């Protein structure tokens, strides 16, 4: 049945002469944003904050201190992290008493579903960000799985200031998404999960994280 469906649909579509009556208008070339490095950081921060993300722009050697301060103020049952990433190594080296336990994501979801859905926080790296609309680019991988930025109530993301692009189009281009091939999943994330489905009242924290904290490393 379905083999026929394919042929039938395609041949119906192919059989149609358009007699040049279906015009494709010329695509205007739109100049994207062209901000300086500082402006990009500033714009990204503002856009993310409007979407209720907490953003800290910090010097690269100070961010771990800020992270620890943040974690100490909260009673978290654990921090999910990806041990096989550079970020994971940094965290392991810096971990100490009084912080929520580091919980590695190393088993297939089938074996750890329960704990993934009950852990309070997760920390991930990012592949970059988009200043124009305010969004982080996440590029989950074998080392850093997809659910890390989804199931915990608090998502902490670490971003290198160098990787902030003006626009989405620029990021695709400059990072060579096409050339290197798309991974299983790419995500743009602009804040904690939200909804406005009841009377358009904006509320944060629906099915995804309730909080997003972004460290932008200078």
Partner 1 sequence: MAKTEDVAIFERNVAKALGDGQLRRNLRSAMATMSQRRRTLFADTEAFEQLRTLGQSIRRRALSQLPELLEQLEQRCTANGIQVHWAETAAEANAIVLDILRRHGATRVIKGKSMVSEEMHLNHFLEEQGIEALETDLGEYIIQLDGETPSHIIVPAIHKNKDQIAHLFHERIPDAPYTEVVEELNAIARGELREKFRTGDVGVSGVNFAVAETGTLCLVENEGNGRMCTTAPPVHIALMGLEKVVEKLQDVPPLLRLLTGSATGQPITTYFNMITSPRRSGELDGPHEVHLVILDNGRSGIYADPERRTTLQCIRCGACLNHCPIYTRLGGHAYGHVYPGPIGSILTPQLKGLDEAGVMATASTFCGACEEVCPVKIPFTEILRMLRNEAYARDESEHEVQGHGYRYTTVEALSWKSWALYNTSPALARIGAQMLSKFGQHLPMIGPLKEWTRVRTPPPFAPKTLHELAQQRGLDDDR
Between residue 62 and residue 101, which ones bind partner 1 under the rule CB under 8 A? none
Our finding on whether 34 is near partner 1 (CB under 8 A) is: no
Answer for which of 36, 142, 176, 180 binds partner 1 (CB under 8 A) is: 142
Q: How far is CA 38 from CA 34, 58, 165, in A?
A: 12, 13, 11
Choices 62-70, 95-103, 121-129, 137-145; region in contact with partner 1 by CB under 8 A:
137-145
Q: List residues bridging with 161 in a β-sheet.
A: none
CB 201 to partner 1: min, Å? 4
DSSP class per residue in 56-71: EEE-TTTHHHHHHHHH
> Under rule CB under 8 A, how many of the chain's residues touch partner 1?
78
The contacts of residue 32 (CB under 8 Å, 6+ apart) are: 132, 166, 167, 169, 170
Q: Does 193 bind partner 1 (CB under 8 A)?
A: yes
Figure out which of the listed residues 12, 75, 176, 180 binds partner 1, where binding follows CB under 8 A. 12
Looking at 163, 189, 214, 216, which residue binds partner 1 (CB under 8 A)?
Answer: 189
CA distances from 158 to 1, 5, 88, 217 (A): 50, 47, 11, 7
In the complex with partner 1, the residue whose CB is nearer, 89 or 203, is 203
Interacting residue with partner 1 among 65, 86, 101, 183 (CB under 8 A): 183
Cβ-based neighbours of 158, under 8 Å, separated by 6 or more: 63, 87, 123, 124, 125, 126, 214, 215, 217
Nearer to partner 1, 79 or 144 (CB): 144
Are 21 and 144 in contact by the 8 Å Cβ rule? The answer is: no
Is residue 135 at the binding interface for partner 1, with CB under 8 A as the rule?
Answer: yes
Residues 146 to 165: which contact partner 1 by CB under 8 A?
146-147, 150
Among 56, 85, 167, 218, binds partner 1 (CB under 8 A): 167
What backbone torsions phi and psi does residue 115 show, to the nearest 5 degrees? -70, -30
């Amino acid at each position: 049945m379905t083999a026929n469906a394919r042929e039938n649909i395609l041949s119906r579509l192919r059989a149609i002469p358009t007699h040049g009556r279906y015009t494709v208008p010329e695509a205007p070339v739109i100049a994207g944003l062209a901000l300086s490095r500082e402006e990009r950081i500033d714009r990204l921060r503002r856009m993310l904050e409007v979407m209720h993300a907490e953003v800290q722009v910090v010097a690269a050697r100070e961010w771990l201190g800020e992270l620890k301060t943040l974690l100490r103020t909260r009673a978290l049952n654990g921090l999910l992290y990806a041990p096989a990433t550079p970020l994971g190594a940094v965290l392991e080296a810096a971990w100490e008493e009084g912080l929520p336990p580091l919980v590695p994501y190393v088993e297939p979801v089938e074996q750890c579903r329960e704990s993934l859905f009950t852990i309070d926080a997760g920390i991930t790296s990012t592949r970059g960000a988009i200043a124009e609309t305010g969004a982080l680019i996440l590029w989950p991988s074998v080392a850093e799985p997809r659910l890390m930025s989804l199931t915990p109530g608090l998502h902490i993301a670490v971003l290198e200031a160098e990787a902030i692009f003006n626009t989405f189009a620029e990021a695709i281009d400059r990072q060579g998404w096409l050339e290197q091939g798309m991974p299983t999943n790419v995500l743009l994330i602009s804040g904690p999960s939200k909804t406005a489905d009841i009377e358009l009242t904006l509320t944060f924290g629906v099915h995804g994280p309730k909080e997003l904290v972004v460290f932008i490393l200078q």
